[in-house]
Structure 1
Amino acid sequence: MDLKMDSENSMKSQGKQRAFLSLKRREALSALVFVSPTLLLLLVFSFIPIFYSFWVSLQRWNLIQPPVYTGIENYINVFKDRYFRQALVNTLYFTGVSVPLTVMLSLGLAIMLNRKIRFISFYRTGYYIPVITSIVAVSVIWTWIYNGDTGLLNKVLASIGITGPNWLFDPGWAMPAVIIMTIWKNVGYYMVIYLAGLQGIDKSYYEAAEIDGATRWNCFRHVTLPMLAPTTQFIVIMAVISALQVFGQIYVMTGGGPVGSTTTVVYLIYQTAFSAFKVGYASAIAFIFFIVVFGLTLLQWKISRGRVEFM
């Protein structure tokens, strides 16, 4: 009798396990069906082009004659190329200056616009308009603003007795001019993200801090900043990646000049591939730069991971 009951219990247990596994398989199959379009798009438009680009980076190819396999020769030449080193320094300079200023300014604007003031929706919309405006259109407008003879900025400076430089044609001022324009263009996007983070902070934290006698600065330092740490981490990572890939404003406003002072790595890749027609060499630069961007992003993530407590 006991053996019969044990056998029945064992069969029931096995049946439940089979049903559970069958359910898990159906769920996995359903998930695969839903994600398959995205995977297909990634395969066609990302992974295949990436592998093809790597294959091209091992060739000497000018788009006219058949490609010639050269192994890692292109990669060796990239590290010897002073133009690549200059472009990399320019890119890191652009990133190192624009990202901190963008983050701080967007946080400050978000804090100001998180209060109940008149026309708050108008201000929020106004700061966000540059984000949705074409980078080409914005770059053309700022090129006019920076014009050394008829530009609005130099006219304003002249009205207060200051002679402005020829912004986009001065090697010392061209990159700062592009950085200012980029900050103006991007700050609204990160401001909106910070606004969402600020509105997610429980008001009781501020009430408790005020009861303990905390000043506004102490509330900002010990409540706002720690609670916004995950948001700040996300913004910094996204801003760094975006800054490292800067291209549109460089192409329209300076063309990489004067004397290469605003040539970034992405613009150098464009010039090498479509002006010099060194497609294999340009692909090698792109892969080396990919490693640089990936390494910086990973380092940034590891440094901030131990300091950020996700909620």
Structure 2
Amino acid sequence: MNFGEHLIKLEHVSFAYASAEKAPAILQDVNLTIRRGEWVAIAGTNGSGKSTLAKLIAMLTPATSGELSFNIPEQPPIQLVFQNPDTQVIGETVYEDVCFGMENYGIAEPEIHLRAQTALQKVGLEALADRPVAELSGGQKQLLAIASCLCMNPPALLFDEATSMLDPRSRHNIIQVAQELHREGKTIIWITQWMDELAWAERVVALDQGKVAYNGSTLDFFYQTDEHNQSFCDRLGFAPPYTVQVALSLVNKGFKLDSLPVTPAELGKIVSVHL
């Protein structure tokens, strides 16, 4: 896939919390470019700096050093979907909540109504417009958070571990919505520590102790190995997703695979050929 011009660029960005004593940097000398229309997954263990990087990109906190620039004429340039949807729910009802941000930006009432209807339809909540937010499930609240972001028409959406508190079915729904938005041209920045969620990204950026330890294709992250037969995934202490484990098992048993899968659908096609 050919991507457009860069949207977001980080150059030698570091971040450390101010304290009486010299605090260790949570992010250290991060260089990263994200282009229009790209799906970038940012992975790492707890404490690796993922959420801090999300806050920097979403402009919720400034960098301690380095430069963060946006080549985005649209305002707001990026919207953040938090890990816990309760932290960004404002309205009493679904419709009130999805309209809140637009009202703050002074958007005209007819346009607010049109955008709200369109966003709720995209995430499958149009039938619940009058439902009190308190009656929604966790997955429905996360869909509402996405709809509220979509109403602002940002070119980029940042999901900060947006599925980590959800059940498998709700996780699947959120990923499906993100996939559809990506097909429509949205830039997706997907922060996660679930290895199976990397499958839909064109590029993986892995953080380790505040530094970029890997920046490359999803395929290479799982399958490219060093002299010790370890992949980048292995070296960072992650267990590869089931899809990759099955493919590696087939290879180790002597099967010649035409391609290496990262999604369950790709694995299904490969297995059907060898049955």
Q: TM-score, normalised by structure 2?
A: 0.25
Task: Flag the structure with higher helix content.
Answer: 1
Task: Flag the structure with higher strand content.
Answer: 2
